[in-house]
Homo-oligomer: A and B are copies of this chain.
Amino acid sequence: MELLKKRISEDGRVVGQDVIKVDSFLNHQMDIALLNEIGKEFKRRFNGEDINKILTVEASGIGIACIAAQYFNVPVVFAKKTESRNLDEEVYESKVFSFTKSKNYNIKVSKRYLNSEDRVLIIDDFLANGCAAAGMMDIVRQAGARLVGIGIVIEKGFQNGGKMIREAGVRLESLAIVESIKNNSIIFSEEKKGENNK
């Protein structure tokens, strides 16, 4: 998605060897016009697929998923990371390791909002090691729902998440894939096509 790559190149900030900060437009401050273009692009790529629910995980996936959901006419469910007295007791739960936060946490979805009738599109802002995606895939599996595909805004192609998902035969659509970071500049790769990709 050229508009997105352009924006990442212009406004993304490289920190250290492998961190790309896009918090001016994607995951702290959010450019809603850009999010709408991202939502349209997800719809274009998954057009014709039988999707009745979008699953994401708090926090930075939520805005992207909600804007995208408008183009699919489906509800969004977000997996919760934090303990809350208000969450149902009956939940699907999966353990996720966060490299950004250097700790394990559990993600949870109430059993009320995901079941074997659902055809799920997972959406998230970043795919790096794939831990959050694997946790959501695990929850979809526990629910007996059908995983239609995964839509990612920025994939770090030099980390293992994309490979893990594609090798699992899951359709993955990443709108921008970063191949490498060299001398503070971000190099994008062409899209990788998994077996299930069209």
Chain A contact residues, CB within 8 Å of chain B: 15, 19, 21, 23-25, 28-33, 35-36, 58-59, 62-63, 65-67, 69-70, 73-78, 80-88, 100-102, 109-110, 112-113
* 27 sample A-B contacts, Cβ–Cβ < 8 Å, listed by A number: A19-B85, A21-B86, A23-B112, A23-B113, A28-B77, A28-B80, A28-B109, A29-B113, A30-B66, A30-B78, A31-B75, A32-B66, A32-B74, A32-B75, A58-B62, A59-B81, A59-B82, A62-B62, A62-B66, A63-B63, A63-B66, A63-B78, A66-B67, A81-B82, A84-B101, A85-B100, A86-B100
**Chain B residue with the shortest CB-CB distance to A31:** B75
Contact, CB under 8 Å: B70 / A36 = yes
B63 touches A76 (CB 8 A): yes
User: Chain copies in the assembly?
Assistant: 2
Chain B contacts for A73, CB-based, 8 A: 32-33
The answer for the CA separation of A30 and B33 in the assembled complex, in Å, is 21
| Bound Cα distance A41, B32 (Å) | 18
| Nearest residue, chain B, Cβ from A74 | B32
Say how far A133's CB is from chain B's closest CB, in angstroms: 18
